[in-house]
Amino acid sequence: MNTTFRALMGATALCASAGLAAAQDTTLTVATVNNGDMIVMQGLTADFEANNPGIKVDWVTLEENILRERVTTDIATKGGQYDVLTIGTYEVPIWAKQQWLVPLNDLPAEYQADDLLPAVREALSVDGTLYAAPFYGESAMVMYRTDLAEAAGVTIPDSPTWTDIMAAAEAMTDRDAEISGICLRGKPGWGENMAFLTAMANSYGARWFNPDWAPQFDSEEWKATLTDYLTMMNEYGPPGASSNGFNENLSLFQQGKCGIWIDATVAASFVTDPENSTVADKVGFAQFPNKEGVDNHGNWLWAWSLAIPTSSDAPEAAKAFIAWATGPDYAALVAAGKGWRAAPPGTRTSLYENADYQAAAPFAAMTLTSMNAANTQKASVQDIPYTGGQFVGIPEFQGIGTAVGQQFSAALAGQMSADDALAGAQANTTREMTRAGYIK
């Protein structure tokens, strides 16, 4: 009897400990994109797992558009396939309002949420509640070849106007040496050419919609924006520019074939990387240009951010992961292995106060200036009914933005005039906004 009792007790203890172990083993599925900073994060997973015993991390890395499709489908159907999502400033407010995301206001004090850059924090919050934590953030700025500018006898000020940029692009263009004065996005897409052109339009005083949601492509501001864009690209831009996006322009700039490139601030670390860029030590930086008399530098703001879907069955473990990946100590962890230049930019004030980072990243000051200048709550100097900087923060924008981007890309390819592209954009957007119920 005694032996039986002992055996039973032993079996019970074994079962209990096995059950406890099972309860402690949580597997987090993190959906992300294959950007350089995310690859570094994946490489550091062991550090998180060592500091959080019982939590294992599985990565699902997907192409950006596929990721959006998959995550949207999963959240809408409450699939629960993912515990942590990598999404941007476009999705966060829309999904938070749908109650698809877990609020992150209860992150521990060590997380130092007040250290997040105010513009980024605001863009990821709805009614003061944070719904996603920024992993890396970006605005847009001018990157230019200091050697070409000097040889051409032009100076690009820290806060240039579009007139300055056009003059510099003209001076730096050298077709014989295959150097284009300026490289800008031309590939159609709401996140490609329309990200740039929306920011450029903001800096020209244009707006997508008036307060009654009527599209404004028939305005003088939009006409000036598109006309100047086409003039710059046709006269000083690279051949085949209508198929160039971020990566294509990055490749051209790194090979020394662009005088000026205006794009996301995150590109600064790539073009100054001596291992991959042939012009690493010849790059200057300036703020996103504005039209004379318009106090607006485009208001481009994006942050790849980590969020928890409400369908996750491990929200506490997911919060622990987010606190680690976007916390104040993460930059130092990256720096220890890869140097301070590799620290994810654009999320925390403390990074820009760090002397080591300032010394390693010559673009740090201009990045911070650009990010602080962004106002996603009012992107245009005119009255507008929407939020968002280089995009319009409504669910319909992906479709509308891409359709308009196709019109503008066709104009760049010489298939239609600027007037026809604007007329097409106006008609298309009016139709879609009426269908969606914005225009009564």
Partner 1 sequence: MARAVSRNQKIGWTIAAWIVALVIFFPILYAIITSLKTEQEAIAGFNLIPSFTFESYQAVQSQNDYFKPFMNSVILSVGSTILALIVAIPAAWAMAFSPTKRTKDILMWMLSTKMMPAVAVLVPIYLIFLRTGLMDTRIGLTILLMLINLPIVVWMLYTYFREIPGEILEAARMDGATLRDEIVHILTPMAVPGIASTLLLNVILAWNEAFWTIQLTTTNAAPLSAFIASFSSPQGLFWAKLSAASTMAIAPILILGWFSQKQLVRGLTFGAVK
Q: Under the rule (CB under 8 A), what is the footprint of partner 1?
A: 29, 31, 33-36, 39, 42-43, 58-64, 66, 69-70, 73, 77, 79, 81-82, 191, 246-247, 250-251, 254-255, 264, 266-267, 270, 275-276
125-126 and 129-130: which strand pairing?
antiparallel
Which residue reads 């590109």 in tokens?
Answer: 267
C-beta closer to partner 1: residue 152 or 268: 268
Instruction: Give whole-number Cα distances, 167 to 64, 160, 232, 297, 414, in Å.
Output: 36, 11, 10, 18, 23
d(CA 255, CA 257): 6
- The separation between CA 271 and the C-alpha centre of its own chain, rounded to angstroms, equals 17
Q: How far is the CB of 175 from partner 1 (least distance, A)?
A: 17
- The separation between CA 209 and the C-alpha centre of its own chain, rounded to angstroms, equals 23
d(CA 154, CA 183): 17
C-beta closer to partner 1: residue 40 or 224: 40
Task: Identify whether the C-beta of residue 303 lies closer than 8 Å to the C-beta of residue 376.
Answer: no
C-beta closer to partner 1: residue 36 or 103: 36
Q: At what angle do helices 220-236 and 397-412 cross, to 10 degrees?
A: 50
Which residue reads 């949207």 in tokens?
Answer: 72
Q: How far is the CB of 67 from partner 1 (least distance, A)?
A: 9
C-beta closer to partner 1: residue 35 or 112: 35
Task: Identify whether the C-beta of residue 315 lies closer than 8 Å to the C-beta of residue 170.
Answer: no
C-beta closer to partner 1: residue 215 or 245: 245
C-beta closer to partner 1: residue 302 or 324: 302
C-beta closer to partner 1: residue 58 or 419: 58
Q: How far is the CB of 60 from partner 1 (least distance, A)?
A: 5
Instruction: Give whole-number Cα distances, 366 to 181, 248, 288, in Å.
Output: 21, 23, 10
Task: Identify whether the C-beta of residue 324 lies closer than 8 Å to the C-beta of residue 107.
Answer: no
C-beta closer to partner 1: residue 274 or 293: 274
Q: How far is the CB of 77 from partner 1 (least distance, A)?
A: 6
Q: How far is the CB of 277 from partner 1 (least distance, A)?
A: 9
Cite the beta strand spans of 184-282 per DSSP E: 258-264
d(CA 298, CA 196): 9
Q: How far is the CB of 48 from partner 1 (least distance, A)?
A: 17
Q: How far is the CB of 330 from partner 1 (least distance, A)?
A: 19
Amino acid in the structure at residue 309: P
C-beta closer to partner 1: residue 266 or 323: 266
Q: How far is the CB of 269 from partner 1 (least distance, A)?
A: 10
Q: Which two tokens stand for residue 302?
A: 């994006």
d(CA 350, CA 327): 11
Instruction: Give whole-number Cα distances, 164 to 134, 143, 231, 292, in Å.
Output: 33, 14, 14, 10
Cite the beta strand spans of 177-290 per DSSP E: 180-183, 258-264, 283-287
Q: How far is the CB of 53 from partner 1 (least distance, A)?
A: 21
C-beta closer to partner 1: residue 197 or 266: 266
Q: How far is the CB of 116 from partner 1 (least distance, A)?
A: 21
